[in-house]
Structure 1
Amino acid sequence: MISYLKNKKERPLNCFFVYQAGRLQCLNGAYLSKIDSVLFSLIIESKIPPKDKEVSIENVLVNEKLREVVQRRGQEKFSLKVKENYNWHCCFPGCDINDKNFLVGAHIDRWADNVEKRGNISNGLCLCCIHDRAFELGYFSIDDEYKVILNKGKDINNSLLFQKSVKPFKNQMIKLGNILPDIESLQAHRLRNGIFGGY
């Protein structure tokens, strides 16, 4: 790594290592946004073992792999704007969660399913972690009048969480933000989860 950095005519863009004062230093808070094949191979050889490393933890095998990840650009800003639209409160009726650490700016029509509405604030709901998960799993949806409808196709009556946190709010209207939820996105959510008429 040192010889690579010493012989480099121009400094790599946003490189998190520099060679200064005769030693290799890691820059605090920096990241690597552009990399050439030589530097990539140096990092891989020094940071990740050449073959998968398996470790047994209570009889569960785990390993490490280097993977390329596709990052959702704009997701963080979308989530922030959705939460702001709902004044940092879960929009599910009867839910008082307003702690930023437990709120999600959730897509109604999923990111992967509708490219045109990915960044559209009307395609978002501010939900707490519990209601976000229940919405994603299709335990409930929202009708065109913004009322909670339950999924009669889901076998969830044995779930204490569902019985306490979702079921009592059937047919109640969600709390609305300044930008209303998109009707087409809500219809797509119901269709995806097989909710053609709640119970």
Structure 2
Amino acid sequence: MTTSRWTKEQLKLAFHLYCQLPFGRLHSRNPEIIQLAQLIGRTPSAVAMKLVNFASLDPAITSTGRAGLGNASALDKEVWAEFHADWEKLALECLLLNATLRNEVDSESVAELDSAELAELQDFFGETKRVLTEKRVKQHFFRRAVLSSYRGRCCISGLSDARLLMASHIMPWSYDKKNRLNPSNGLCLSAIHDKAFDRGLITLSDDHEVMLSEQLKRSDDVFVVNIFLPVEGRKIEMPEKFIPNLAFISHHRNKIFVDAAV
């Protein structure tokens, strides 16, 4: 039976879940909250309340007047700060915490991979298998965190079919290891907008407005004319959580955008 005082490990798991849930689903009836409550020996109401405490620390939440409960503890703030400094540590440490609490020998069972992915992983052994599993865990966390922040919609087009949505990195995966899994380094984009953003054909201003490259603006391709030209200068739909970091946006605009050197 748990005491009333939350442990740091429990808070890490709670924050890990907070990152992956839309703000509107931070309630005690959510099956994922119920599952975590059972895992750590808390009530669903207590877990839901803790997630709302974390929301009170999120500028994307508080800037819209949704203040959360507003009574986050010093340890809540410590966990928030610790994992904003190292998102990969969050994903992997919580994987291990889950595995320990579930008494699982093989951590793949908490990676939430589908059967096809597990079958593929079974072809590998030793260190290679571990590295691939960790990579999938990281990608899964980042995708859920970004898509939930944007309410499962492309922030440019409004597309809401998850099969066609990407969790796009603003700062490329290979450039900044510390922020690979930072949800503020992500945009929810349709597959076509993701490709254009990745290739530097579109970018964002510091006001989060869409900027098109001269290559796109000069194109006479019907698809480009109909899909890309109308969104120029349009502000993206802002996320509920984890506002895009302006330093990351500036890097993309000045280093990746194809017009940066013009």
TM range (shorter): 0.5 to 0.7
Q: Are 1:156 and 1:162, in contact at CA under 8 Å, matched by a contact in 2?
A: no
**What is the DSSP-based 3-state SS (H/G/I as helix, E as strand, rest coil) of the residue aligned with 1:87?**
coil
Instruction: Give the match for residue 141 of structure 2.
Output: 77
Matched, 1:121 2:218: no
Instruction: Read off the aligned partner of 1:80 and give its amino acid letter.
Output: R
Instruction: Give the match for residue 247 of structure 2.
Output: 184
Q: Are 2:199 and 2:256, in contact at CA under 8 Å, matched by a contact in 1?
A: no
Query: CA 1:34–1:131 in structure 2 vs 1: closer, same or farther (change >3 Å)?
Result: closer
Give ranges in structure 1 of 5+ residues lacking alignment. 1-12, 15-28, 37-66
- C-alpha distance in 1 between matches for 2:163 and 2:214: 31
CA shift, 1:33, in A, is 7.8
Matched, 1:104 2:166: yes
- The alignment-based identity, stated in percent, is 25
Matched, 1:169 2:259: no
CA shift, 1:158, in A, is 2.8
- C-alpha distance in 2 between matches for 1:196 and 1:176: 24
CA shift, 1:81, in A, is 0.7
Instruction: Read off the aligned partner of 1:81 and give its amino acid letter.
Output: A
- C-alpha distance in 1 between matches for 2:245 and 2:168: 13
> Deviation per CA, 1:48-71, whole angstroms, max 9, x where unpaired?
xxxxxxxxxxxxxxxxxxx99x74
Instruction: Give the match for residue 17 of structure 1.
Output: none
Q: Are 1:103 and 1:129, in contact at CA under 8 Å, matched by a contact in 2?
A: yes
Q: Are 2:202 and 2:210, in contact at CA under 8 Å, matched by a contact in 1?
A: yes
> Deviation per CA, 1:106-155, whole angstroms, max 9, x where unpaired?
11111001112101000000011111111112221001000011112568
- C-alpha distance in 2 between matches for 1:164 and 1:153: 15
- C-alpha distance in 2 between matches for 1:119 and 1:133: 19
- C-alpha distance in 2 between matches for 1:128 and 1:110: 17
- C-alpha distance in 1 between matches for 2:202 and 2:226: 13
Instruction: Give the match for residue 192 of structure 2.
Output: 130
- C-alpha distance in 2 between matches for 1:133 and 1:140: 9
Name the structure where strand makes up a greater proportion of residues: 1
Query: CA 1:197–1:90 in structure 2 vs 1: closer, same or farther (change >3 Å)?
Result: farther
CA shift, 1:194, in A, is 3.5
> Deviation per CA, 1:48-99, whole angstroms, max 9, x where unpaired?
xxxxxxxxxxxxxxxxxxx99x74350121011100000000000xx23101
Q: What TM-score comes out, normalization by structure 1 length?
A: 0.61
Instruction: Give the match for residue 152 of structure 2.
Output: 88
Instruction: Give the match for residue 42 of structure 1.
Output: none
Aligned CA RMSD, in angstroms, stands at 3.1
Q: Are 2:186 and 2:244, in contact at CA under 8 Å, matched by a contact in 1?
A: yes
Give ranges in structure 2 of 5+ residues lacking alignment. 1-104, 107-117
Q: What TM-score comes out, normalization by structure 2 length?
A: 0.47
- C-alpha distance in 2 between matches for 1:113 and 1:101: 27
Instruction: Give the match for residue 13 of structure 2.
Output: none
- C-alpha distance in 1 between matches for 2:234 and 2:251: 20
**What is the DSSP-based 3-state SS (H/G/I as helix, E as strand, rest coil) of the residue aligned with 2:243?**
coil
